[in-house]
Amino acid sequence: MSARVLVIDDIIQNVKLLEAKLQNEYFDVITALSGKDALKILETDLPDIILLDVMMPEMDGFEVCRRIKSNPRTTHIPVIMVTALDQTSKRVEGLEAGADDFLSKPIKDLPLFARVRSLVRLKMLMDELRMREVTVENLKTIEVVKFPLKFNLAAQSTNILLIESSSSSAQRLSSYMDDFAKVDISDGNITDFNLCRYDLIMISLSLPDIDGLRLCSQIKNCEETRHTPLIVLVDEDENDKMVQAMEIGVMDYLVRPVDKNELIARVKSQIRQKMYAESLRENMKRNMEMAITDSVTGLYNRYFLNNYLKNLLCPTNEDRDSVSIIMMDIDFFKKVNDTYGHMAGDEVLVEFAKRIIRNIRTIDLAVRYGGEEFIIIIPKSDATFVKLVAERIRARIEKIPFKISNHSVPIAITVSIGVSLSADKYMDGTSLMGSADEALYQAKETGRNKVCGL
């Protein structure tokens, strides 16, 4: 996973050390030697993540962080604060200033890379949601509803599930959160809990009879709970488990013995991030329904696609040369309508759309382009990945026949697919769509039920 990292530290040796470590992991690094220099850089250059030293002259890291997080243009950028002070009070102060995480010097490589990759994944999702919001704002046919970016947790009905085998530890940790959340406790058996209702789940990785990492993976792989933030509890010497947890998708961790103030700060930070993401999703849902979604399948429609693709391939998007398109056409769909009727045809379209959604990432965009033609926009991709996705979808469509009402025998459906990848930073949406259309035509002319292109 590549990303742009802004390193801010007044000591040049520290900057060079972090720069070398991150570049060795294929991150693109920009640097600043003071808070003022960093804020000036952020006026024109937005990184994916910021590593910010605390102890700097003129303007310390806490003040820099507060300014970054109070600016609507930069508030979404994750900030990891770095300091030689290994004091809980400083970590809490940093988190309360808006930092997303805190690392102590000397920085260990594994926690550093795990934190950076985890927060970059979160920012990719936020960027995608914000990109879609910008697309909505550019559509003049609807009124955009704005949501607040700050949340008062005391006014929210916040539910947390704590999974911990030690009863005394669970009661103590639960008591830390009594002022702002209702905490349910499980010793590891979660069969009686509805995980969908929780705003955050905290999991001990020292459960005696259950693999805590596997439990985290199961929660993240479930559609209903994939956006629920997870915090894991680890012992001081469990760096490997911590790294594995972050790779799975866990957003944060707490090291035992757990400090009350640090727990509160980290939990509130994760819940605020969740609320922010949910507000963006709700904003899109309210503003796009009816106006820019297809009434049959619920996917985005052609009108939204054109505006979204224009934003995605605009000159200010540095990732515009890694945008792919999958263009699909259901084979002989007219025969379905003629044989079984248009209601049956609509059922096929609805199921087809569901199978697409189940086989793409959250950041990918599925569109019903018209009739039986569908399109998927895949940002941050390469030729190997997009062909893998296209072939997986083709196989899922062919493998399982489509059930329709009032017919006992399911209908066999296949799909022809064309794929294209933006060749350079200057390719526009028309050219990219044209390449995918040519590849789709080739698939249909050479036997259908296949993937062509690239």
Catalytic site positions = 372
Which residue is associated with the tokens 């003129």? Answer: 58
DSSP secondary-structure letter at 300? Answer: B
Give the number of C-alpha atoms closer than 13 A to the C-alpha of residue 325, restricted to the C-beta side.
32
Q: Are 90 and 119 in contact (CB under 8 A)?
A: no
Phi-psi category of residue 58: left, alpha or beta, with phi > 0 → left and psi -120 to 50 → alpha:
left
Give the number of C-alpha atoms closer than 13 A to the C-alpha of residue 128, restricted to the C-beta side.
17
Q: Are 69 and 97 in contact (CB under 8 A)?
A: yes
| Cα 387 to Cα 394: distance, rounded to the nearest angstrom | 10
206, two tokens: 């020292």
| Cα 358 to Cα 396: distance, rounded to the nearest angstrom | 10
Collect all residues with Cβ–Cβ distance below 8 Å to 24 and sequence separation of at least 6: none
60, two tokens: 């310390």
Pairing type for strands 200-204 and 230-234 reads parallel
Find how far residue 295's CA is from the centre of its chain.
26
- Longest CA–CA separation in the chain, Å: 77
| Cα 44 to Cα 4: distance, rounded to the nearest angstrom | 14
| Cα 240 to Cα 243: distance, rounded to the nearest angstrom | 5
